[in-house]
Structure 1
Amino acid sequence: MKNLWNSAIGLLLVNGALLGLTLPFGKMAGQAGVAPMLWAFVISFGAGGVLLCALLARGQRIALNAHKLRYFVVTATISYAIPNLLLLSAIPHLGAGYTGIMFTLSPVITLVLSILLGVRRPNGLGIAGIAVGFVGAAMVALTRGEAVQPAELFWVIVGLLVPVSLAAGNIYRSYDWPADAGPIELAAGSHLASAVILLTAIVTVGGGLSSFGALAGEPVLVLAQVAAASTMFAVFFRLQAVGGPVYLSQIGYVAAAVGLISGTFFLGERYQALTWIGAAIVTVGVFMTTRAQNGKA
């Protein structure tokens, strides 16, 4: 476990796989009548609550100050509340696998922002790997979702906004990371802030507290989502510290693979040959960027 905590590639695989589970879980929740905003709340409240309990059990606490409060609110908004809401809204129209492939665009946008802001950037092989991944993602985007029901352009655009928000979050978390805070504390505080934002939206414009009744019929799914989210975010911020924002963004490649496989084999989704070819090219890109990161370490 200690080796995993210090391994960029190990943390990458764990984070990406658990993030990928959000895609089939989100589609199943939507099919059960759970609104996207409510499921996004489940993710943030579940992860934040479990991580806070873990902190308290270890005798630690979240020491609030103005800097941390700002960090929690901004991170909650651009890294969790907005992208999760967009993601879960797009899944019913694009499919879990296709929506997951949108994650692969995050490294490209993260790289551009990193260069503009002077944050850590990859070497030549890393840039080449990201470019290869982008070519594969572009091929996938052209197919517009499942083969049997191509989505409207609007939902493709919604899906594309997910990596934009994620990339902004990747950069911000490194840029404004509180010096006196640990990864579990930041994860717990940010998710609880996201839960407050989403709960406020649910009460005001998302159907009110009565909408929570939809969760009663899916206790196993709720528990599975909370377990996956809390485990993922326990190591998410550690990956940020070990690998940096551009390397962190590579979790989208792993998540896309998990989403595409689970959507195809467990949810009955069907995709065009171009989608699979693009996904294969994306896989080549992530191996290149991983090799570049290992060479730089």
Structure 2
Amino acid sequence: MLNRPLPLLLTTGGLLGLNFPLGKLAGAAGITPLFWSLLMSAGAGLVLALALWALRDRLPWDRQHLRYYLVTGAVSNALPNLLVFSAMPHLGAGFTSIYLAFSPILTLLLHSILQGRWPSLLGAAGIALGFAGALVIVLSKGGVDSPGGAPVLWLALAFLIPLLLACGNVYRTLAWPAGTSGLALAAGTNLGAAAVLAVLSLLWTGSLSVTAVQAVPGLLLAQIAITAAMFAVFFRLQRVGGPVYLSQIGYVAAAVGLGTGTFVLGEHYGLLTWLGAVVVAVGVLMTTREQQAAGK
């Protein structure tokens, strides 16, 4: 499994998709998106650092690694999570998750421009098909609590989520410090995100109060465990599959977000939403086939 892109993709995307119902429940408990993002990043970073220690690996702290942790933590973790958790009260958990499905095509464009080459016809067609499925879902609006009536500002701001994720996907590969394990980068990225969010929290609220979290300790532990597990697999997928293939976790996460929104949170979606999800699945299978043919 550790060298097979598809199981890594499904595992990472599935774990990522679970963030949406957990984040919505945290918001319902009165925890701000900023502070919830901070706690999940700090907790996951500490868990991954302990795993490194247990494996007798190390967490490098030279200037190159610190820059990587902070940039990756901010672009790939802190800011997207903050936007996700902030948008969910306005758009719904399932509907917000759909925006992740736009990251593959944006990643493909950025990576192709920087590398000066394009993927094979099959790979490009698979990503385009996945994008088309995601577009069908968004245009259908899923029937989730009348998202069409949501403030236009949040509908627009949510598009920053896939853009940030795409930038992070490409940056992580291009700036990956030589000789550093994925687990070490996962720990450092979460700690870097926590540092960025802590500064934002202090500037925004002037404090780091944990009072609200005391009412949902189990929810927080679940969020930390899922985030730590997701990032441990995430960086392995980055190394094995590359940034474009990895970006398709957005498709998987969107499907999981739709499922949990329906069966856990009681949100409702129309037929076009589910047809779009099927199209997304076909697109993932096509790009997986292309990845195997390329020998990755």
TM-score bucket (shorter structure): over 0.9
Q: Secondary structure at the match of 1:60?
A: coil
Which residue is equivalent to 2:256?
258
Contact 2:98/2:254 (8 A) holds in 1: yes
Q: Find out whether 1:158 has 2:188 as its counterpart.
A: no
Contact 1:120/1:246 (8 A) holds in 2: no
Contact 1:90/1:99 (8 A) holds in 2: yes
Q: How does 1:70-89 map to 2 (within 5 A)?
A: 70-89=67-86
Over 3 Å counting, the alpha-carbon distance change for 1:107 and 1:95 in structure 2 is same
User: How much has 1:294 moved relative to structure 2?
Assistant: 1.6
Contact 2:65/2:177 (8 A) holds in 1: yes
User: How much has 1:280 moved relative to structure 2?
Assistant: 2.1
Which residue is equivalent to 1:18?
15
Q: How does 1:121-200 map to 2 (within 5 A)?
A: 122-144=119-141, 146-150=143-147, 151-200=150-199
Which residue is equivalent to 2:107?
110
Contact 1:76/1:194 (8 A) holds in 2: yes
User: How much has 1:94 moved relative to structure 2?
Assistant: 1.3
User: How much has 1:148 moved relative to structure 2?
Assistant: 3.5
Deviations 1:210-254 (A, max 9, x none): 2x2111000110011111010111111111000000000011111
Q: Find out whether 1:225 has 2:223 as its counterpart.
A: yes
Which consecutive aligned stretches of 4+ in structure 1 deviate over 6 angstroms post-superposition?
Answer: none
User: How much has 1:206 moved relative to structure 2?
Assistant: 3.5
Q: Secondary structure at the match of 2:57?
A: coil
Contact 1:120/1:245 (8 A) holds in 2: no
Contact 2:141/2:273 (8 A) holds in 1: no
Gaps of 5+ in 1: none
Q: TM-score, normalised by structure 2?
A: 0.95
How far, CA to CA, are the matches of 1:265 and 1:204 in structure 2?
38
User: How much has 1:286 moved relative to structure 2?
Assistant: 1.2
Q: How does 1:272-291 map to 2 (within 5 A)?
A: 272-291=270-289
User: How much has 1:60 moved relative to structure 2?
Assistant: 2.3
Deviations 1:260-290 (A, max 9, x none): 0010011000123322222222222111111
Q: TM-score, normalised by structure 1?
A: 0.95
Contact 1:144/1:156 (8 A) holds in 2: no
User: How much has 1:6 moved relative to structure 2?
Assistant: 1.1
Which residue is equivalent to 1:48?
45
User: How much has 1:144 moved relative to structure 2?
Assistant: 4.0
Deviations 1:179-215 (A, max 9, x none): 02110111111110110111111122036222x2111
Q: Report the more deviating stretch, 147-156 or 162-171.
A: 147-156
Q: Report the more deviating stretch, 169-178 or 114-123.
A: 114-123
How far, CA to CA, are the matches of 1:25 and 1:121 in structure 2?
37
Alpha-carbon RMSD = 1.5
Q: Find out whether 1:57 has 2:61 as its counterpart.
A: no
Letter of the structure 1 residue corresponding to residue 60 of structure 2: A
Taking only the aligned residue pairs, the percentage that are identical comes to 51
Q: Secondary structure at the match of 2:158?
A: helix
